[in-house]
Structure 1
Amino acid sequence: MDQIHISVIMTVKNGSKYLESSLLSVFSQTYPAKEVVVVNDGSDDDTWEVLKRLRHTAPIQVQLVNTQGVGRSQALNLAVSHARYPWLANIDADDKWLPEKLSQQVATVSLFPDVELVVTASQIVYGEGEGEGEPILRGGFSVTPMGCDSFYVHNPINHSSILFSRRFFDQVGGYDETLFRQVDIDLWVRALSQGFIFYRVDLPLTIKRLHDEQSFEVGNRLGYTYNSLKVSLRKLRQLKAPFYYFPIAFVKFFYNNIPRSIRRRLKRVGL
């Protein structure tokens, strides 16, 4: 198989706190990407200055795109439009990759010629924690196909873990610019509805960071979780899920409105 050339894309708004950690994890990959495209979506902190500083010392090319604030979906599509290579990997500005992340995904693409999107298992850290986190997906040294039934209860894909082909992106239609939240779930559902199968590397090679500065924590959490409920119900209808999955969406709605500190304690006891 020909060598796989990867563009990494990132969108950021007022994300300077964790931005350097995120980009350094991209620069440290054992299988290096060809470039990073960062869309600074109307930041009014020092994000732009951090980006310019990191660009000067980066081991790969870094494209910087500045906007006045176009929103998440449009910023993601803008990043893809500036990317020059046939494979793309997204990383959020507060997340991180372990060094083998891209190499394991490239190996998966080599093993499965029909693959268009590969994700990895993930772990969660809170705030500035850098150590072992809570696995989002557990698994051994294997690759697992993911069909519609993997998405009935929750969204099993960390957006920062994806590697996808430009062909996949163009066929599905990109990110829906009428949406402002949970734009990734919408993309997965449209892809699944078109018959795409995702592959997951069952190693926690992506780190998902949860912190108090995230929009769903500092803003109207009830509004965010209500929107999540609507997205979940629409997803279940589009994927033609069995009827008994619909009440689970309402249970999750109430659970997600519990304060994070209590949710973390519940997770520790297995709830």
Structure 2
Amino acid sequence: MNQIDISVIMTVKNGSKYLESSLSSVFSQTYLPKEVVVVNDGSDDDTWEVLKKLRHMAPVQVQLVDTQGVGRARALNLAVNHTRYPWLANIDADDQWLPEKLAQQVATISLFPNVELVVTASQIVYGEGEGELVISRGFSVTPMGCDSFYVNNPINHSSILFSRRFFDEVGGYDEALFRQVDIDLWVRALRKGFIFYQVDLPLTVKRLHEGQSFEVGNRLSYTFNSLKISIKKLRQLKAPFYYFPIAFVKFFYNNIPRSIRRRLKRVSLWKL
């Protein structure tokens, strides 16, 4: 396996509740990164104090950057600008990695020397749940082109490992955007001809909880913005026309309360 030097980036705003589990999952990697850069984006809870405590427990260097609140995209760009190594991995402050996450991605880079971005499959947990630690499937990798993005955004932002060259060539995160800045980056990369690779193991844990903007009184605004981004994405990727109605179906579905959506999913799985 080639030696890959990795900087991990994180941005956080009022995210102290899950910070320890998130950063502990980074510190527990079998393939340790060289450093972690955390941007505190104007938190008014105890996030900064928790970060300072966790920094002293870290097995790698941790840089802390404090701001008065610059917004998601700018905070991500700021984190990248503070990194020192050629490969970058993002983790959101409420998500987790399984211990082999970075190791499997580094193995993928060794197999595909021209790769610029590697992601992993993900698993979902709700509230304070924990991800499944037992991985039974063998190692496999799937390339992801434009058609992988027509229906959904298949990339969990916490699963990415990408080169600094990729980031600079695509132009970084668009600071004019306030939400879903990741899908905008993927679309710009796809239009430039980049191909992504996915490790087909759920090595990243995506946490869904009531503190997220999707669930805190902003559902309609969030999903309407998602609809606009989806339509723009389909146009930019020149998707077949029959994918466009799917974006509207998803808009209506996502405005159903989460509890009902989860019941619908269970019914669907039972019928299958």
| Alignment pair present for 1:211 and 2:209 | yes
Q: Gaps (5+ residues) in structure 2?
A: none
TM-aligned CA distance change 1:13 to 1:270, over 3 Å: same
1:226 corresponds in structure 2 to 224
**Matching residue within 191, 194, 219 for 1:193:** 191
Deviations 1:62-82 (A, max 9, x none): 000000000000000000000
| Alignment pair present for 1:17 and 2:17 | yes
Correspondences of 1:158-173 after superposition (within 5 Å): 158-173=156-171
- Aligned to 1:153, the other structure's residue is in SS state coil
2:262 corresponds in structure 1 to 264
Task: Report deviation, 1:140.
Answer: 5.3
- Aligned to 1:49, the other structure's residue is in SS state helix
| Alignment pair present for 1:52 and 2:57 | no
- Aligned to 2:200, the other structure's residue is in SS state strand
1:74 corresponds in structure 2 to 74
Task: Report deviation, 1:208.
Answer: 0.2
| Alignment pair present for 1:34 and 2:34 | yes
Task: Report deviation, 1:270.
Answer: 2.7
Q: What is the rounded CA distance, in whole Å, between the counterparts of 1:198 and 1:131 in structure 2?
A: 24
Task: Report deviation, 1:23.
Answer: 0.1
CA contact (8 A) 1:73 1:183 kept: yes
1:125 corresponds in structure 2 to 125
Give the structure-2-normalised TM-score. Answer: 0.96
RMSD of the alignment, in Å? 1.6
Q: Gaps (5+ residues) in structure 1?
A: 134-138
CA contact (8 A) 1:125 1:132 kept: no
Q: What is the rounded CA distance, in whole Å, between the counterparts of 1:165 and 1:217 in structure 2?
A: 33
Q: What is the rounded CA distance, in whole Å, between the counterparts of 1:68 and 1:20 in structure 2?
A: 22
Give the structure-1-normalised TM-score. Answer: 0.96
2:145 corresponds in structure 1 to 147
Runs of 4+ in 1 over 3 A off after TM superposition: none
- Aligned to 1:85, the other structure's residue is in SS state coil
Query: Which amino acid is the alignment partner of residue 263 of structure 2?
Result: R
- Aligned to 1:26, the other structure's residue is in SS state helix
Aligned length: 268
CA contact (8 A) 1:147 1:192 kept: yes
Query: Which amino acid is the alignment partner of residue 254 of structure 2?
Result: N
Q: What is the rounded CA distance, in whole Å, between the counterparts of 1:29 and 1:239 in structure 2?
A: 35
Judge which range, 140-149 or 83-92, deviates more. Answer: 140-149
- Aligned to 1:36, the other structure's residue is in SS state strand
1:93 corresponds in structure 2 to 93
Deviations 1:82-141 (A, max 9, x none): 0100000000000000000000000000100110000000000000011439xxxxx753
Q: Percent identity?
A: 87
